[in-house]
Amino acid sequence: MNNALTEYKEYSYIFFSVGTFNYAFNARYVLAITQLTELEYPESMPDYIAGLFEYNNSIIKIIDLRHILKIEPENYSINSKIIILKAKNETFGVIIDEIKDIRRINSISFNPPPYDREKSYLEAIYTDGSYSATIVNIENIEAKINSKENEDIKSNKSASLFLPSDLNSKEILHRRKLHYLKKAKQGTYEIIKSKDAYITFLLDKDTCCVKITHIAGFYKLINMKITKIPCTPDFIVGVVSIKGRYITVIDLLKYTENKNTNITKDTNIIVLEYEDYEIGILADSIGETIDIDETILNQKQENSSCLTEHVINDSMHLFLDIKKFFGEEKLYIS
């Protein structure tokens, strides 16, 4: 074995967009993903700080990546997100436009940037076919936040000016903030921790949801080679090799409702991970990212299925109980 290959490691990365650019954070830094909310701006602050936010009984800075990365500023929307990160010593948030994906990536697939990355906020470039994204150096951003150097403060360039400012948006942001504060006063302050990002996907005619932190990747079925395994239950589609990992693929519709998934060009394999295990499931198509208050999902239900029903925004959603799903021994091929 080539010893050099043992130096490479595989991690989960959260991919997101800021304007027209794609970036990614190593998921080990990510504490939470939440909706954009009303921020405090008590005094003049460096241009790259959009405001302050109370998280887990501490006041943290919310950063505008565009100011740091020298991207032309544009107004954020009410649908923007805040990703809360914990670097070596500092907890802070960054505003992003949209969560794109979560993937497990081996660092061997990274390309170094064509400049000195020791002091750069960008540490690598990831490409996969026509898709590319830049890996953000969280620790160098933390160093900038903690820098003792004087920052130029220009009131006409402050990141706070690019937050939603129309009356309707300001009311929505304020209500979100009051909701967080209400939870804090109850002594739990679990709203940010429990309100997390979920990916929706279609299964037959049902909208299903799975927590984004359990997703190791999406793959088009038509691009994958599945090996059939004899003498296995009919809900086991087969085994697929993804970057050297052999993963069992399950027809979740067959498993839960005894109905075969209708295979089309849009059919995806969603690779799920829990503890040290990975399983792929078939999905008719991948939907959007939604934020869910997990206190809703914690309501007890008498249900032996790994899919539980909950009403979200006046429509029925099926949520995949990862722990229950991965606990079924019959899913695994020996």
Domain co-membership, 216 together with 169: no
Q: Which of 189, 208, 224 is the last residue of a domain?
A: 189
Residue at 126: amino acid letter: Y
Give the model's pLDDT for residue 62.
94
Q: Mean pLDDT highest for which of 11-20, 172-181, 184-193?
A: 11-20
Q: How confident is the model at residue 67 (pLDDT cuts 50, 70, 90)?
A: confident
Give the model's pLDDT for residue 6.
41
- Top-confidence residue, 268 or 129: 268
- Top-confidence residue, 103 or 17: 17
Do residues 47 and 37 touch, judged by C-beta distance below 8 A?
Answer: no
Q: How confident is the model at residue 299 (pLDDT cuts 50, 70, 90)?
A: low
Phi-psi region of 328 (alpha: psi -120 to 50; beta: other; left: phi over 0): beta
Domain co-membership, 113 together with 39: yes
User: Residue 188: is its pLDDT beyond 50?
Assistant: no
- Top-confidence residue, 165 or 117: 165
Domain co-membership, 230 together with 166: no
Domain co-membership, 237 together with 326: yes
Give the model's pLDDT for residue 141.
92
Domain co-membership, 160 together with 69: yes
User: Residue 7: is its pLDDT beyond 60?
Assistant: no
Q: How confident is the model at residue 110 (pLDDT cuts 50, 70, 90)?
A: confident
Least confident span in 116-120, 272-276, 300-304: 300-304
* Number of independent structural domains in the chain: 2
Give the model's pLDDT for residue 300.
58
Helix residue spans in 63-166 (DSSP H): 65-69, 138-145
Q: Which of 189, 215, 248 is the last residue of a domain?
A: 189
**Structural domain that includes position 211:** 197-331
Relative to beta strand 131-136, strand 21-26 is parallel
Mean pLDDT of 62-68: 91
Domain co-membership, 177 together with 217: no
Domain co-membership, 90 together with 226: no
Question: What is this structure's pTM?
Answer: 0.57
Query: Which CATH number fits the domain that encloses residue 325?
Result: 2.40.50.180
Domain co-membership, 137 together with 22: yes
Mean pLDDT of 32-40: 85
Of 42, 79, 45, nearest to 64 by C-alpha is: 45
- Top-confidence residue, 277 or 93: 93
Domain co-membership, 25 together with 172: yes
Domain co-membership, 60 together with 205: no
User: Residue 4: is its pLDDT beyond 50?
Assistant: no
Domain co-membership, 35 together with 74: yes
User: Residue 157: is its pLDDT beyond 90?
Assistant: no
DSSP 168-216: HHHHHHHHHHHHHHHHHHTT---HHHHEEEEEEEEETTEEEEEEGGGEE
DSSP 309-333: EEEETTEEEEEE-HHHHHT-GGG--
Q: In the chain, what percentage of residues exceed pLDDT 70?
A: 83
**Distance between CA atoms of 155 and 158, rounded to whole angstroms?**
5
Q: How confident is the model at residue 294 (pLDDT cuts 50, 70, 90)?
A: low
User: Chain centroid to CA 301: how far?
Assistant: 27
Domain co-membership, 185 together with 274: no
